[in-house]
A = this chain, B = another copy of it.
């Protein structure tokens, strides 16, 4: 009881569960924080029970006399000191960081037939994307535009200037190196876009070319290594905005964001690394020297043996990965060879929502 009286009053009142404060139809709050009286305080507390009979405490508020009934279970889980902010699943603390050796023998993968028919298999696969940053679906039908159907199993396609889906194969007049046979080192896609697409899907239709193997690097892990090995370089990369840019005949995109994005508590939340798309930085000479030293250091770290997970996509494979965390790469391949992927972008908030609802259904009704 004492802890209730000493709880921050506006916080406690903002969590009043009564139907006048929260719409029972949708859980949304019905009052404005500004409508609460200035001298708000707990007037009295007495034992109570909830409508379904659970033990609770009733607060009568001063000065307005409003009554709030808080279940004991809620107070036990939420009063200050009982729980820390768990985050929203997007920062480094909510991830399992990895290098190639750490993942040896436990590549997160799922068979398409299981994924489609078994909610538990689907939940495990989607959880891998949140926790490890990716999942590899095997046995996906080798069919034009199938990648869009894969995206729609957990969320919504993010259309961009590259279309609803994009073809990754050698093109005669490519507007992007992705559409040539060139080697591409670990990078973020579309860094010149804000909001950047948070998920990417790559569905392999053909891969008969010499080369063209795939690689993934955990950018959160690499950034945490940089922080441990060279804190000054890490700090520079969280601070200096990098002007990413892309232009073709129909498009002119730019976003000025740091290579390592952090949340207000300083935790790693987003990696944006792409050597191909960095425009001209305008900063004092000292900042430019420091930035380029740090950028090279991080670039070397990303190529360090052991970090990158190498594998080869075969027809029917569909890779789904977190484009705000993992960097993806591919080896060069013969432009005459037959290699064709279809890609699409989507967003990870929708994937996390789908997983949360799946888990809800796991709970016996």
Taking beta carbons and an 8 Å cutoff, which residues of A are in contact with B?
6-8, 10-11, 14-15, 23, 25-34, 36, 78, 80-90, 156-161, 173-177, 182, 185, 193-196, 198, 238-241, 243, 246-248, 250-258, 263-265, 275-278, 280-285, 288-289, 291-293, 295-296, 299-300, 303, 347, 349-350, 352-353, 356-357, 360
> What's the nearest-Cβ distance from chain B to residue A323, in Å?
11
Instruction: Assess the A195–B247 pair: CB atoms within 8 A.
Output: no
Whether A238 contacts B250 in the complex (CB less than 8 A), given A85-B243, A174-B25, A256-B88, comes out as: no
Min C-beta distance of A247 to chain B, whole Å: 6
Cβ–Cβ < 8 Å partners of A196 in chain B: 195
Assess whether A27 is in contact with B247, with CB atoms less than 8 Å apart. Answer: yes
Q: Which residues of B contact A296 (CB under 8 A)?
A: 10, 33-34, 36
Q: Given contacts A28-B276, A194-B88, A256-B88, is CB(A8)–CB(B289) below 8 Å? A: yes
Select from chain B the residue with minimum beta-carbon distance to A3.
B285
Q: Roughly how many angstroms separate A316 CA and B275 CA in the complex, as a whole number?
A: 46
Q: Do B160 and A85 touch (CB < 8 A)?
A: no
Q: Is the CB of A11 within 8 A of B292?
A: yes
Sampled A-B contacts (12; CB under 8 Å): A6-B285, A8-B288, A10-B289, A10-B296, A14-B278, A28-B176, A28-B277, A30-B276, A32-B299, A34-B296, A84-B282, A241-B265
Contact of A292 among B14, B30, B32, B283 (CB under 8 A): B14
Determine the distance from Cα of A157 to Cα of B240 in the docked complex, in whole angstroms.
31
Complexed CA–CA distance, A246 and B29 (Å)? 11
Contact B157 A8 (CB under 8 A): no
Are A33 and B282 interface neighbours, CB within 8 A? no
Specify which of B31, B161, B276, B283 is in contact with A353 (CB 8 Å cutoff). Answer: B161
Cα distance, A170 to B176, chains bound together (Å): 47
Contact of A25 with B173 at beta-carbon distance under 8 Å, contacts A36-B296, A84-B282, A194-B349 already known: yes
Q: A157 contacts which chain B residues (CB < 8 A)?
A: 159
- Report the nearest B residue to A237, measured CB to CB: B264
Closest residue of chain B to A267 (Cβ to Cβ) is B241
B275 touches A357 (CB 8 A): no
| Closest B residue to A198 using CB positions | B195
CA of A86 to CA of B241 in the docked complex: distance in angstroms?
10
Task: Report yes or no: B177 in contact with A28, Cβ–Cβ below 8 A.
Answer: yes
Which residues from B are CB-within-8-Å of A291?
Answer: 11
| B contact residues around A281 at 8 Å (CB) | 11, 85
Which residues does chain B contribute within 8 Å of A295, judged by CB atoms? Answer: 10, 33
CB of B275 within 8 A of CB of A29, answer: yes
Contact of A252 among B7, B238, B356 (CB under 8 A): B356
Write out the residue numbers on chain B whose beta carbons fall within 8 Å of the beta carbon of A250: 357
Chain B residues with CB below 8 A from A82, complex form: 282
Contact between chains at A86 and B282 (CB < 8 Å) = yes
A11-B291, A28-B177, A32-B299 are known contacts; what are 20 more A-B pairs with Cβ within 8 Å? A6-B285, A10-B295, A11-B288, A11-B289, A26-B177, A30-B276, A32-B275, A34-B299, A78-B280, A81-B285, A85-B256, A86-B282, A87-B256, A88-B254, A90-B194, A90-B255, A156-B160, A195-B195, A195-B198, A252-B356
